[in-house]
Chains A and B, each alone.
Chain A
Amino acid sequence: MIREKYYISDFCVIRDKKVFKNGTEVYADSEALSVKDFAKGIYKFLDLKYPKFHKMDELCKLGFLASEVLLKDKEKVDQDTALVLSNQASSLDTDRKHQLSIQDRENFYPSPAVFVYTLPNIIMGEISIKNKMKSENAFFVTDNFDADFITLYSEVLMNTGKATNVICGWVDLDNDKYDVFLAFLSKKGNKELTKEELNKLYKQ
């Protein structure tokens, strides 16, 4: 089996009402009152014209925006760029909304537009649609960002020829608490991929 060296070429963090790319703050909105408003601000800042964005749930919006920041100025991604995402709360933020709509049998109106987001892997669907990535996807649920496992599995994909590049990371939203980290892994770059390095960038 081929074991090559891989690199982290770019990374993006969305945390505490701020957006960072490769360690540099690119956007901040300390006034944002909700995740929804904060996400909308980033959308406007990035000057995106993508009506589908408004239909996404907040978890997908955050993951989608991070991917837009990450992939900005990047050469086209394609069938060979896999997505390996993870989080703690799965889609619980939207699960609770769906549960509310069915809690009362007298007022029982589940919404298809909400239900479709009650799966965490929908984030990868949204990113794939936007970037036309017909590639490998996997969504894991762990208590904390598991840099060790995410590094290992991303390497597995590249070593076994399932992907040449990987967008990996953590996209979590739970009762207004959010934490987003995406990294672009490939054969090119200046930071060598190790679990320690990935964890360091996540924790920056």
Chain B
Amino acid sequence: MAELREELKEKLIEQLSLEDVEVSEIGDDDPLFGDGLGLDSIDALELIVLLEKDYGIKLKDPKEGKAIFESISVMADYISKHRTK
């Protein structure tokens, strides 16, 4: 799980162009949206694509994303349970 969390942090920085952010600066339980990393609505949509492309998870309702993308820990937990690749 720790490995998946690290992997997700790297992917987030890469996919969401968070150039000024280091992997070590993202806490496992930091909120990704709002006051945390400050991600926005386009980032949320991009994370939905990431789930599908890299882990074969297709969300039935995009609104589910809000809970899944709460933090790196929550995301990693969800992916490990639902991944198809």
Contacts and interface: CB of A to CB of B under 8 A. Distances in A.
A binds B: yes
Interface of A: 51, 54-55, 109-113, 116
A51 B52 contact: no
Interface stretch (B3-11, B17-25, B27-35, B65-73): B17-25
Given A51-B18, A54-B19, A54-B20, A109 B52 contact: yes
A59 to B, nearest CB: 15
Contacts of B16: 55, 113
Contacts of B83: none
Closest 5 CB pairs of A and B: A112-B45, A54-B19, A54-B17, A55-B17, A109-B53
A113 B44 CA distance: 10
Query: How big is the B interface, by class?
Result: 10 to 19
Given A109-B52, A109-B53, A51 B46 contact: no
Interface of B: 15-20, 38, 42-43, 45-46, 49, 52-53
A13 B49 CA distance: 37
Contacts of A55: 16-17, 42
5 contacts: A51-B18, A54-B18, A111-B49, A113-B17, A116-B42
A112 B18 contact: no
A52 to B, nearest CB: 9
Contact of B49 (A51, A109, A116): A109
Contacts of B17: 54-55, 113
A51 B42 contact: no
A51 B20 contact: yes
Contacts of B18: 51, 54
A109 to B, nearest CB: 5
Nearest to B54: A109
A158 B65 CA distance: 46
Given A113-B43, A113-B45, 9 more contacts: A55-B17, A55-B42, A111-B46, A111-B49, A112-B42, A112-B49, A113-B15, A113-B17, A113-B46
Nearest to B43: A113
A107 B41 CA distance: 24
Contacts of A54: 17-20
A113 B53 CA distance: 15
A122 to B, nearest CB: 11
A112 B49 CA distance: 8
B42 to A, nearest CB: 5
Nearest to A49: B20
A35 to B, nearest CB: 15
Contacts of A51: 18-20, 38
Nearest to B41: A112
